[in-house]
Amino acid sequence: MGAPRVSGDKMITCVKGDITESSAEAIVNAANNQLWMGSGVAGAIKRKGGEQIEREAVAKGPIPVGEAIVTGPGKLPQKYVIHATAMGQDLLTDKGKIRAATLNALRRAEELGIESIAFPALGTGVGGFPVNQAAQIMMGVARDFLRDSKSVTRIEFVLFDSDSFEIFNKELGASQEV
């Protein structure tokens, strides 16, 4: 696990592993705006949590790129899955979409009154966005959000591969205290 950045009782951490096994109350799905769950993080969540997660998500869509919606966790141990749309059907993304999707996922967590949320690297899989840029954007949004957050106290970045973990962990170490 990466060195946590802490301010009072709030922290940001990096973990190498499987997001479906996170101890966070909510995990974030790297979603498209139609909310169907294909490969990558979405596929892993659907495989482990069940098709009911996708059915519930699709019933709430389509939604604008950059937005986020909440579904139940299916068979997963978390309380919620937050579907953050960092790309549309074209599977293309950019800095603004990743920033908005990250922020809106955090807003949904705050609305739910939960303390912990786990993110994958949004837009870096099928979206093809550079991991280092995603790390900078997402860490910046997380750091800013925690300053004024009422319920969210722990933001975890869960990266499946070693290279992404190292990049996010390096960005965590370079980021300012929250």
Question: Alpha-carbon distance 158 to 18, whole Å?
Answer: 7
Mean pLDDT score of the chain, rounded to an integer?
Answer: 93
- Kindly give the interhelix angle for 95-112 and 131-148, rounded to the nearest 10 degrees: 40
> For residue 14, what are the β-bridge partners?
157
Average pLDDT on 101-128 reads 96
Please give the model's pTM, rounded to 2 decimal places. Answer: 0.93
For position 97, which CATH number holds?
Answer: 3.40.220.10
Distance CA(38)–CA(54), nearest Å, equals 9
Structurally, the chain folds into a number of domains equal to: 1
* Domain around 78: 5-174
User: Helix, strand, coil shares of the chain as percentages rounded to 5?
Assistant: 40, 20, 40
pLDDT tens-digit map of 131-151: 999 999 999 999 999 999 999
